[in-house]
Structure 1
Amino acid sequence: MQTVTKKLLNYFLIGILAVIPIVVVLQIVLFVKSILMSMFGFVQGYSANYFYTALFFVFSFFLLVYIGREIFQKSRPIIISAFEHVIDRIPFLNTIYRVIKKVSAMFIKDDQTIAKEVVYVEYPKDGVWVPAYVTNRYESKVVLFIPTSPNPTSGFTVIVDKSKIVESDMDIEDATSFIVSVGVDYDKAKEMTRLP
């Protein structure tokens, strides 16, 4: 009876682990759906007409496509420049906007002025290696963001000497996948042997 119970619990845990990615994706889809529905209700409440509501969303879609194309081709459309001109004059908000803009640019732009490297650094103590994103450089110092598992959006920002880091072949997507999967999705086994 005890072995049957152990098998049932084992299969139950395996089933939970198999379903977790599906549940997470469904939660994200439901979250986006709830945001869209609340926006739809907000617009519908003002216009009280489905045609105007649909027209608003079609216009919004093409406006975002235009902004994306302009950013891709010219790096700064007039709409964004006008908004930034206003935001620059508002204390506190201008700081938040500037920081968020730099962080998002790190992940979406091909701008070579923004570091997009992944390196290894000893953290939180010697002999323990973690992947980190290079976010800035100054002379012999490197600014790193060290994400935590399994949530790569939280972590620590540290400044270290260049001599304390080991280069990695991973890109940001590989490193994020490694962190989210708590090390299960890691195909750079040769890199491990290079770590002292």
Structure 2
Amino acid sequence: MSGDQTDKAGQDLEPVRPRREGIGLIGRLRAYFLAGILVTAPIAITAYIAWWVVSLIDGYIRPFIPSAYNPENYLPFSIPGIGVLVVIVVVTLIGAFAAGYVGRLVLGVGEGVVGRMPVVRSVYGAVKQIFETVLAKKSNAFREVVVVQYPRPGVWSLGFITGSAHPEVQAQLGGHGDEFVNVFIPCAPPTAGYLAMMPRRDVTVLNMTVEDGLKLVMSGGIVVPPDRRPALVEEDQPERKVLAAASRSNR
């Protein structure tokens, strides 16, 4: 009888092993399908946008290519991207011509003619200044990602510093010595935006690249850029270790 009690006690002392619930066939297929979407969707969308842009440019440029110089007339198949190639070559040749003495002379005469047109000169001057500012290597436009309280205090919006405010704005609003800057606040997705002129002391510069800022805006906050602060903390760790060791030795 004692042996029976020992066996029963031993059986009672055995731990209960949890049952392993494996993923069923439907669950595995669902996981594989989602993984396939994550892999193929970005590639497919990028390829579609690139193909759409190339096809659009080809559709506009291909009719202007002379038949004698169009390689598609000598080949049994169409060449995608020939319009893009023609645009690159033509723009490069125009740049080379404008860099010479004759090109600068012709460009000066053309800008003089455009400068006498009431409406066209404003549009041309604004567009030219925008491209010169954005393409200039010394430009600070869209170099800093900031957050500002907009459209009301307590609500923060992501923006980009595009430059210093106009001297008239600085003279009228900067009476207390505040430096005013132009902040472009894009919409999400960035189809338009708002221009805000505010003191630099009210602008908080983020430790974030412009590319990460654009990703955050274009995704509507879905794509969150990586946190760059841990890298700075790791760089400061040796100094913190030395200070910690010194404090312990003083104790």
The interval holding the TM-score normalised by the smaller chain is 0.5 to 0.7
> In the TM superposition, what is the alpha-carbon distance from 1:168 to its structure 2 partner?
2.5
Tell me if the contact between 1:118 and 1:131 (Cα under 8 Å) persists in the aligned partners.
Answer: yes
CA distance in 1, matches of 2:55, 2:71: 20
Pick aligned residue for 1:178 from 216, 224, 239: 216
Which stretches in structure 1 are left out of the alignment for 5+ residues? Answer: 191-196
Q: 2:201 corresponds to which residue?
A: 163
Q: 1:141 corresponds to which residue?
A: 180
Q: 1:154 corresponds to which residue?
A: 192
Change (3 A) 1:108 1:28: farther
Change (3 A) 1:122 1:67: farther
Tell me if the contact between 1:118 and 1:132 (Cα under 8 Å) persists in the aligned partners.
Answer: yes
The share of aligned pairs that are identical, in percent, is 24
> In the TM superposition, what is the alpha-carbon distance from 1:147 to its structure 2 partner?
1.0
Which stretches in structure 2 are left out of the alignment for 5+ residues? Answer: 1-24, 74-82, 171-178, 230-251
The normalised TM-score by structure 1 is 0.64
Change (3 A) 1:114 1:179: closer
Q: How does 1:42-121 map to 2 (within 5 A)?
A: 42-44=63-65, 47-50=66-69, 61-66=88-93, 78=104, 81=108, 83-112=110-139, 116-121=143-148
Q: Which has the larger radius of gyration?
A: 2
SS of 1:29's equivalent in the other structure is helix
CA distance in 1, matches of 2:38, 2:87: 39
Tell me if the contact between 1:131 and 1:146 (Cα under 8 Å) persists in the aligned partners.
Answer: yes
CA distance in 1, matches of 2:28, 2:109: 63
Change (3 A) 1:8 1:115: closer
> In the TM superposition, what is the alpha-carbon distance from 1:23 to its structure 2 partner?
4.1
Pick aligned residue for 2:54 from 9, 22, 33: 33
Let me know the Cα RMSD of the aligned residues. 4.2
Change (3 A) 1:102 1:131: farther
Larger RCO: 1 or 2 (CA < 8 Å, sep 6+): 1
Deviations 1:37-60 (A, max 9, x none): 22343214xx44335999x98775
SS of 2:194's equivalent in the other structure is strand
CA distance in 2, matches of 1:129, 1:103: 27
Amino acid at match of 2:43: I
> In the TM superposition, what is the alpha-carbon distance from 1:146 to its structure 2 partner?
0.4
CA distance in 2, matches of 1:85, 1:117: 36
Deviations 1:117-159 (A, max 9, x none): 33221122223322212223234222211012232x5211112
108-117 vs 163-172, which moves further? 108-117
CA distance in 2, matches of 1:166, 1:86: 45
SS of 1:157's equivalent in the other structure is strand
SS of 1:150's equivalent in the other structure is coil
Q: 1:194 corresponds to which residue?
A: none
Change (3 A) 1:40 1:137: closer
CA distance in 2, matches of 1:178, 1:80: 41
CA distance in 2, matches of 1:90, 1:52: 41
SS of 1:49's equivalent in the other structure is helix
